[in-house]
Chains A and B, each alone.
Chain A
Amino acid sequence: MTTGKPPMVELTQVTKRYPIGSVTALDGVSFAIAAGASVSIEGPSGCGKTTLLNLLGLLDSPTSGSVRWNGAAAGSLPERERARLRLSGVGFIFQRFHLLPTLTAAENVELPLRAARRPGPERAARVAELLERVGLTGRARAYPHELSGGEEQRAAVARALANGPGLLLADEPTGELDRTNADAVLDLLVEAHRESGAALVIVTHNPDVAARAARHLRMQDGRILSDSLAE
């Protein structure tokens, strides 16, 4: 796995404590993700999976320890810098989709492109390409409340891919979907990961979902219990 290059993301002795209730969500976690890798993170509720994902995606900063992106300290950067890195480098897929309800599917996909100040024609072409890729060409003008759960999550995947991120972070991406839609979304994610070369991290309860990744982390009580490669 080592290529001489620094890992894409590297956590060293990361601890995250929440002052309210003195909860330790992560306790001295260290691990690295190489560019293009696929990793699943499993564990029971409250074991720190989502906290770990938030730290990987720079949505949060650690109480102690370091989060490095491509060898550079990123976890302790000011929010403005972290936002810039998120915009260009991370694609998020949330369990509850988190599409903006006042925007159409196409506008939701366009949002990161607008934020990255891509020119209008380029945005339009990219949105069309992504919607086609996730099978939502005919639903481009639909608002989130007009979409099914599967369609919403596919739109969310398209949005996550918009700026060509190097890291795709999916937090229980199939948690609110039926089996058919769950499989379709997972297929999309894995396909996007393979085609774009982006690293994929999936947080899940579901062993079938976890099985789609090449590497498996198992967590409990804020620690990594095991870190193994798929057989």
Chain B
Amino acid sequence: MRGIGRGRSLRHLRFQTLLAIAAVGVAVALPVVLLSVGGGVAQHELRALQQSGFQVVVGAPGLHGVEGAHGLTTKIDALREVRAASPILSLPVTVFLPGGGQAPLLAEGVMPGAFLATVSPEESGLFPSPLPLGDPTDLHHFANGSYSGAAVNSMLVSSPFANSRSVTTGERLALSVTGNRSQSTVYNVTGTFGVPPSLLGPTGAFVAILPLSDLQLLAGEAQASDGSAIDAVDTIQVALSGSASSSPTTVAQVAQSIQSLVPYYDVSTLSQEVASLQRAESVLTGFYLALSSFSLAIGLVFLGVLLVRRVDALRSSIAIRRALGLPARSLAAEFARTALVLAGGGVVLGLLAGILLVRALAIYGSAGVAAVASLAVFDPVELGTLAAAVLGLAALLSLAATRSALRFSLPEALR
């Protein structure tokens, strides 16, 4: 009977051991997934930002936009080290198709020449060069804010939109910002442009590009009711020339010069935006770790309970060792070893499970999930720190078991 009982007890202990390893494994897998995917997405965004074709952005958060855009662009262009300044106005519009249908579209008003000079190297091959949108400077139609020059009335549409709506070059499309056809303006489609592959969403899929002044007129962003020029855009993207573009000091100096031109607008450099994104990533990492700490706490509590239960299960053996005079440190070392082996097993299991899960999501997940999972980055330092933290906490937990092992009554246990 005693043998059977001991066998059951050992099996029970083995089962608990497997459960503890599994609990720590699950607890580790969660932060592995969160940190690797979250970090991968953040790094992807950072890379995209760093590969932009511009280094400084003028914006007007909380205001109606950057006004006097044409004049300001000319002034920025005149600054040393500036290669091009590209004002951009973005608006949702309704497009009325020749066949009678209508569709929503994002219209981007640009200065054709400056626009091409500020797109990233990755994007530049997607556009016809020069852009077939008439005057590359957009100044003739703008005519010093009177908008009395000859309108170009040309537009480019993105290939996905053209394919989806069977729009071809040479067709005429009516655009309206109000959704009312009677308030629309007709534009000639003079070409199409490609959209860079986007892993994280349909950015830029249904887009039209128009001369800036055309869109300003269409959207009422050209002149006020009294005839004075508003000339509003959302942002002005500024590209620096040559080596200046990769010198943070020069970029900061140019940004400062622009800021002195427009002290009331927000002038930010890409490095600031990168830093801001990195700060956001740090916050997110902290959030992921906080979230993971719940699962880690559960896994470690389970491990701690198992260790203390081992003291009960091994009570007789521990009592013999103590009776023989084995020093407390040898028991402490034994429990620390057990804790580290169990936690180590859990860490290995968790790392493997996390990595395999992310890999599986990248292959078998739905499109969006697979895209995000494919960006995952398994940072050895980050994962190593996570593993070390779990092992350290497990070693601390073993102290509770050691304390318990040193406190029970020897005569009672040896009886």
Decide whether A and B assemble into one complex. yes
With A98-B316, A101-B317, A102-B317 as known contacts, state yes or no: A86 contacts B414, CB within 8 Å. no
CB-CB nearest in chain A for B330: A115
Assembly CA distance A83 to B317 (angstroms):
16
With A51-B411, A100-B317, A102-B317 as known contacts, state yes or no: A87 contacts B324, CB within 8 Å. yes
Q: Which 4 A-B pairs have the closest CB atoms?
A: A87-B325, A86-B325, A115-B326, A83-B325
Confirm or deny: A194 has a beta carbon within 8 angstroms of a beta carbon on chain B: no
Specify which chain A residues have a CB less than 8 angstroms from the CB of B316 in the assembled complex.
98
Q: Which of A116-148 contact B (CB under 8 A)?
A: none
Chain A to chain B contacts (Cβ below 8 Å), 21 pairs:
A50-B415, A57-B323, A59-B411, A60-B410, A86-B323, A86-B324, A86-B325, A87-B327, A90-B325, A92-B324, A94-B414, A98-B414, A99-B320, A100-B320, A101-B317, A111-B321, A115-B324, A115-B325, A115-B326, A115-B327, A159-B324
Confirm or deny: A32 has a beta carbon within 8 angstroms of a beta carbon on chain B: no
Specify which chain A residues have a CB less than 8 angstroms from the CB of B320 in the assembled complex.
98-100
Confirm or deny: A84 has a beta carbon within 8 angstroms of a beta carbon on chain B: yes
Confirm or deny: A178 has a beta carbon within 8 angstroms of a beta carbon on chain B: no
Specify which chain B residues have a CB less than 8 angstroms from the CB of A187 in the assembled complex.
none
Q: Which of A63-109 contact B (CB under 8 A)?
A: 79-80, 83-88, 90, 92, 94, 98-102
Confirm or deny: A112 has a beta carbon within 8 angstroms of a beta carbon on chain B: yes
Confirm or deny: B322 has a beta carbon within 8 angstroms of a beta carbon on chain A: yes
CB distance from B410 to the nearest CB of A (A): 5
Do A60 and B327 touch (CB < 8 A)?
no
Binding site for A on B (CB under 8 A): 316-317, 320-328, 330, 406, 409-411, 414-415
Known: A83-B326, A112-B326. 13 other contacts (CB 8 A): A50-B411, A50-B415, A57-B323, A59-B323, A59-B411, A60-B411, A85-B325, A94-B414, A112-B325, A115-B326, A115-B327, A115-B330, A159-B324
Specify which chain A residues have a CB less than 8 angstroms from the CB of B325 in the assembled complex.
83-88, 90, 112, 115
Assembly CA distance A79 to B402 (angstroms):
14
Q: Mark A38-65, 1 if CB is under 8 A from B, else 0.
A: 0000000000001100100101100000
CB distance from A153 to the nearest CB of B (A): 14
Assembly CA distance A54 to B414 (angstroms):
10
Assembly CA distance A111 to B320 (angstroms):
11
With A98-B316, A101-B317 as known contacts, state yes or no: A112 contacts B414, CB within 8 Å. no
Specify which chain B residues have a CB less than 8 angstroms from the CB of A99 in the assembled complex.
320
Assembly CA distance A35 to B325 (angstroms):
21
- Say whether chain B's binding surface is mostly helix, strand, loop, or mixed: helix
Specify which chain B residues have a CB less than 8 angstroms from the CB of A98 in the assembled complex.
316, 320, 323, 414
Assembly CA distance A54 to B409 (angstroms):
11
Interface size class of A (residues with CB under 8 A): 20 to 34
Q: Mark A148-173, 1 if CB is under 8 A from B, else 0.
A: 00000000000100000000000000
Assembly CA distance A159 to B323 (angstroms):
12
Specify which chain B residues have a CB less than 8 angstroms from the CB of A102 in the assembled complex.
317
Assembly CA distance A92 to B410 (angstroms):
13
Specify which chain B residues have a CB less than 8 angstroms from the CB of A84 in the assembled complex.
325, 327
**8 Å CB contact of B414 from A59, A79, A83:** A59
Specify which chain B residues have a CB less than 8 angstroms from the CB of A57 in the assembled complex.
323
Specify which chain B residues have a CB less than 8 angstroms from the CB of A86 in the assembled complex.
323-325
Assembly CA distance A99 to B406 (angstroms):
19
Assembly CA distance A159 to B326 (angstroms):
13
CB-CB nearest in chain B for A171: B414
Assembly CA distance A51 to B322 (angstroms):
17
CB-CB nearest in chain B for A16: B411
Specify which chain A residues have a CB less than 8 angstroms from the CB of B411 in the assembled complex.
50-51, 54, 59-60
Specify which chain B residues have a CB less than 8 angstroms from the CB of A54 in the assembled complex.
410-411
Do B324 and A112 touch (CB < 8 A)?
yes
Specify which chain B residues have a CB less than 8 angstroms from the CB of A112 in the assembled complex.
324-326
CB distance from B242 to the nearest CB of A (A): 71
Specify which chain B residues have a CB less than 8 angstroms from the CB of A87 in the assembled complex.
324-327
CB-CB nearest in chain B for A100: B317
Specify which chain B residues have a CB less than 8 angstroms from the CB of A83 in the assembled complex.
322, 325-328
CB distance from A144 to the nearest CB of B (A): 11
Specify which chain B residues have a CB less than 8 angstroms from the CB of A159 in the assembled complex.
324
Do B410 and A59 touch (CB < 8 A)?
yes
CB-CB nearest in chain A for B319: A98
CB-CB nearest in chain A for B316: A98
CB distance from B323 to the nearest CB of A (A): 6
CB-CB nearest in chain A for B406: A79
Assembly CA distance A101 to B318 (angstroms):
12
CB distance from A71 to the nearest CB of B (A): 21
CB-CB nearest in chain B for A60: B411
Q: Which residue, B322, B323, B415, has most C-beta atoms of chain A within 10 A?
A: B323
Assembly CA distance A159 to B330 (angstroms):
18
CB-CB nearest in chain A for B415: A50
Specify which chain A residues have a CB less than 8 angstroms from the CB of B327 in the assembled complex.
80, 83-84, 87, 115
Assembly CA distance A111 to B322 (angstroms):
11
Do B323 and A111 touch (CB < 8 A)?
no
